[in-house]
Structure 1
Amino acid sequence: DQVIVYDEPELARFAIEPYTSAFEDFIHSYQPGSILVGATTVGRQLAPRVAARMHTGLTADCTILEMDESTDLSQIRPAFGGNIMAHIKTPNNRPQMATVRYKIMNAPERMPGESGEIVNRHMPSGKLVSRVEVLDIVEKPKEESIENADVLVVAGRGVKKPEDLQMLQELADLLDGQLACTRPLVEAGIMDAKTQIGLSGRTVRPKLIITCGVSGAVQFTAGMNHSDQIFAINTDPEAPIFKTANYCLVGDLYEVVPELIQRIEARKGAAHV
């Protein structure tokens, strides 16, 4: 309903002290009952500092949120390595604060026409002082993130050797997608942690996800079960992933994936002709 704007020169780039001061000013002025912060690099720094200033609790990396009639916010997040889902409430303090994982909720439909109100607030420079001096800014090369991919091919424990990932990468390339993995491949040092899907990795919502040799433990499926279409390949007909998948293929990924690649190449070739 309202967007509160602090547009000051001191806030041009993220600095923890000025941003915290602006956030604190907002809370004192508007007295919100609950505050949600994105669990981004900035949000994970800012939220705990603001919570400490306000003498209130903070639940990090929430995956589900529910509001009780009493206005107590039920903050649900994975705990103990994703083995349980903890329900946390802070009934004695306000504001209730939580950081929320990226892509864990559906984006609202775009509404035609404008609504709501933009409120500009001003803060004196003396309250936006930073004791950190930025000496230089070095741009980081742009990285492809699995969170933004429309298509993902996921390597699971069923992949026998690191060299076999090339086959899955070929499938991902044909579909203009990216290669991702489950936790065992990261722990074995075969793939980077940035490509891991699950409660201890990244949360994704691609249009299509193809899991190859993935059993489908709850820690993994919680990070991808909102994907538009889930296509699962596994030799075990009782694999838990089949309870989540839209399309279930019982078979050896070493037989299925090459045939998939062959058929996609044939279809692409026919389309070019």
Structure 2
Amino acid sequence: MIAGNVAEHLGNIENIVSLTPGQYTTGSLILMVSYGAHFAFILYFLTMSFSLAPRYRIVAILSAVVMASAGLSLLREATLWQDSYAFLDGMYRPLAEGETFTNAFRYGNWTITVPLLLTQLPIAFALSRPDLHRRAIRMAIPALLMIWTGLYGQFGEIGNWTQLNVWGVISTVFFVWLIVEVRGTITAGIANSPPQLVAWPKNIWWYFLATWGLYPIAYALPQLGFTGDVVVTRQLLYSIADISSKLIYGVILSRYVLRRSALEGYAPAAEALETSPLGAKVASVRGD
């Protein structure tokens, strides 16, 4: 086990594990695809917002903000990855020129983006303004507590398993609280959705559980061993979770409110759907 003061400085296992050229390149590609995908979809969500009814437009705009914030954070992670390794004796060695790698920037980004992601739900479901505010706050509180306790716990991942696991359990308690609040919001969304779209919030619930459930797996992964495969696999899990819970989630919500806008008679939304098979269905429901 690494001494406490050294462990506190090194923080994450990336700073004590050497990587093969293949592992290093794979990690670089994972981070590049991650920030590139988020940056690319900024324009998608901004463009999508013009097809949405005014009351739903903020859903796509918030997704664009999330894309920008996550992209910048992941670009910072990719830069650190590049700067903290040096090629020596056939391996990529950590702590190049004293530069350390940290996953803490991910937690900082989640502090910004997760409350925005959660607030999108009651807006998309057209809940009343008082209910929207109440549910957004009730989801944001456990979400932030989950992130901050996880941030503290992850600094124990290079050998202080007590810190890693105790704070991981505490973070999980807040995650369960968050799940309860999200379930309540989605239940309200099911009740407030047009009959043709009821399946969407139901599916979002299962999608939420599947994608957010990847984060605790990645958090606990260092306990499997200080190896290059663990380092790369964790970056892969974090990136899959980020893309799924931010980018793809944003696309799903945007498509939901696009259909909702069309059903409520908003012409640009109906026109946007005309090129898809579902456009005809929406038009028939509206009687066009």
TM normalised by structure 2 equals 0.26
Q: Which has more radius of gyration? A: 1
Which structure's residues are more often helix, by fraction? 2
The higher-RCO structure (CA 8 Å, 6+ apart) is 2
Which structure's residues are more often strand, by fraction? 1
TM normalised by structure 1 equals 0.27
